[in-house]
Amino acid sequence: MRCDVSRGHLGSVNTETTPEIELLAGLRAELTEYEVRSEVRENVAGLAVFTDVRGVFVWVFVSYSGRYFSWDQDGRQHPVNDMPGAARRIAEQVRPNGSGVVTS
């Protein structure tokens, strides 16, 4: 952690990124390939994936072991070392009609 006292900014700023946040940011980038909108929420160490229903998200977390992404209340998981595959599966879930999802 560093202390930033530049003009207009007082106090400590946490500049450390956890491995979980880095994995979720990578998954977020992969989801953009499917035109699926998502936001990393550092306060809960999760990825909020937008659905077609306003205010309803699919929440994605990294497992305690750090080996899997999990979502759908842990009903679904996918290895973190296959981000494209995880993004495809999540995109298929949030767009069940396949709209905008290319599975080639």
Alpha-carbon gap, residue 10 to 12, rounded angstroms? 7
pLDDT band at 101, cuts 50/70/90? very low
Q: DSSP string covering 2-41, please?
A: EE---TT--SEE-----HHHHHHHHHHHHHHTTT--EEEE
User: What is the per-residue pLDDT across 41-98, written as a single tens digit (0 to 9) for each?
Assistant: 999 999 999 998 899 999 999 999 999 999 987 789 999 999 999 999 999 999 866 5
- pTM of the entire structure? 0.77
pLDDT for the residue 95? 82
Answer yes or no: is pLDDT of 8 > 60.
Answer: no
Nearest to 22 by CA among 7, 36, 48, 42: 42
Domain ranges across the chain: 18-94
